[in-house]
A = this chain, B = another copy of it.
Amino acid sequence: MMPETNERALVAQIERRFSSVRSKALRLSLGDDAALWFPRSGHETILTCDWFSEGTHFLRGRHPADAVGWKCLARAVSDIAAMGGKPRCFLLSLALPKSLTGKWFATFLRGLRRASRQLGCVLAGGDITRQEKAGISITVVGELLRGRAVLRSGARPGDLLFVSGTLGEAELGLRQLLRMRGLAKPCTAALAKHLYPHPRLALGQWLVEKRLATAMMDLSDGLSTDLPRLCAASQVGAKIEADALPVTALAKGGHAQALALHGGDDYELLFTVRKKDAERLPHRFEGLRLTHIGEITRDRKILVQSEAGKTRPLASGGWDPFRKV
């Protein structure tokens, strides 16, 4: 009766692909005007959205469609992890050129579905349009117990500064990818971290549950860009020790340190802990390293202390889509 137009065919393909990933809290209504979702009582809702665009966040000829599907959801879910919440569902806004509606689209959906399953975040709805270059906007809805969210603004002078995992590997992976020819294969640890980041959901939730973190955010744009944001929100400064940074073993000395300071896309958690609570923090959480990298200061400068004890201001060297035009 109604012609099977391209938009309908794409939506049908999404519905088929995601029909097995469901949630009782969601009355799935991909075919309706909107989705209906039952929030849990006593909880508040976390809302976040994130762009993932061709040319800015990924390159069509270099980033595999499967990794694009995984990463666009994983990085949006990372904002939920950064507050200590649990992801529940997501909305998918897709702007695609016709050339990406065939095999690329099917592979993209495969990566997206894997992320959806592993991160416990079901597809609730979306919208599709056409555009010369692909643009993906993901909205994630999460939950956590009312009043328990850890914000960027909670850091106080004297709090100790921690990061999870290793810093700079995703940036190293991006550089490897840019030196390769054609489509990247995650053949190195660094490249895998660039293509398939893992939001630190369990750690974020645990820090909230134990009431350990006073402020928290995820590292998406690099420590030298993100730390000033946390400090600005908290109206404090920070001093970090360059030698304490959990640098990657995949690069050497000064290069590894620069990657750790300025490299983006790691999606590790940056958080502060009261000095008296710091002993309750393990060195590892479920295998993930937790590293004390510095301290929050009343003086609102962001300083980095080098090996030789010298202190210099930390210059922001991270990611800003508009600055790099």
A residues neighboring B (CB under 8 Å): 1-3, 5-8, 10, 27, 29, 31-39, 41, 43-51, 53, 55-57, 79-80, 82-83, 85, 89, 91-93, 95, 98, 101, 124-133, 135, 137, 139-142, 146, 149, 151-153, 217-218, 225, 228-229, 232-233, 300-302, 313, 316, 320-323, 325
Contacts and interface: CB of A to CB of B under 8 A. Distances in A.
Contacts of A322: 5-7, 10, 98, 101, 128, 130
B47 A141 contact: yes
A28 to B, nearest CB: 11
A160 to B, nearest CB: 21
Contacts of A141: 45, 47
Nearest to A218: B33
Contact of A132 (B80, B83, B133): B133
Nearest to A79: B33
Question: Could you tell me the dominant secondary structure of chain A's interface residues?
Answer: mixed
Q: Which of A46, A130, A133, A139 has the most CB of B within 10 A?
A: A139
A218 B149 CA distance: 36
A322 B31 CA distance: 18
8 contacts: A2-B316, A32-B151, A39-B43, A47-B125, A49-B92, A50-B127, A101-B322, A137-B137
